[in-house]
Amino acid sequence: MVICLDKPEDVAKKKVKDGWIRSWMMIEAMAINKDAVRTALEKHIKNLTGEKNIIILKKAEGEIKKVDAPFPNIKEAYSQVIELDVLTLNYDTLIYIVLNYGPSAVEILKPDKIVLNQGEAQGVLNSLAALVHRFAAMGGGGLMVST
């Protein structure tokens, strides 16, 4: 990933013209203390920076906020949100980022219409299939097969 610090709108305009996809993403982390949420989110974003075919145009970190009773048996936790303005080479890369980095929300900003060729559509389907098999391998269950 490249973080674009210089003229992000010019970079975005050129890349979208070349077929890249521009998206807004919100990634949230929650933990039982402030340091844990900060550390977890920093590590998560650092891992994202190792990905190829993605350019971060803008990154906005929200304040860490206390959340009362976020889950049963948890009195309080802390939450932080990071908003990203992202360019991805193609739809398959966008799907990969969503599947592997779990943003809470995604909005495709440009282009207005996305057309996938057969290879790209297969790439998306294979990314989804790999995720299902990864869950199964981690003990999340297997696949249901009807007879």
CATH of the domain at 14: 3.30.70
| Helix (H/G/I), strand (E/B), else coil: 3 | strand
What are the phi and psi torsion angles at 22 (to 5°)?
A: -105, 130
Q: 146 lies in a domain?
A: no
Q: 44 lies in a domain?
A: yes
Q: What is the pLDDT of residue 3?
A: 59
- How many independent structural domains does the chain possess? 1
How many C-beta neighbours within 10 Å does residue 7 have? 11
**Does the reported pTM lie above 0.95?**
no
Burial 78-102 (b: 16+ CB within 10 A, else e): bbbbbbbbbbbbbbbbbbbbeeebe
Q: What is the pLDDT of residue 53?
A: 94
Q: How far is CA 146 from CA 57, 126, 141, 143, in A?
A: 46, 21, 15, 10
Q: 88 lies in a domain?
A: yes
Q: 94 lies in a domain?
A: yes
Q: What is the pLDDT of residue 81?
A: 95
Q: What is the pLDDT along the chain (147 residues), one digit of tens a residue?
A: 455 557 889 999 999 999 999 999 999 999 999 999 999 999 998 898 889 999 999 999 999 999 998 888 889 999 999 999 999 999 999 999 998 899 999 999 999 999 989 998 998 899 888 888 887 777 755 555 555
Q: 11 lies in a domain?
A: yes
Q: Which tokens in the block code for residue 122?
A: 């297969």
> Could you tell me the residue range of the domain that residue 78 belongs to?
2-140
Q: 116 lies in a domain?
A: yes
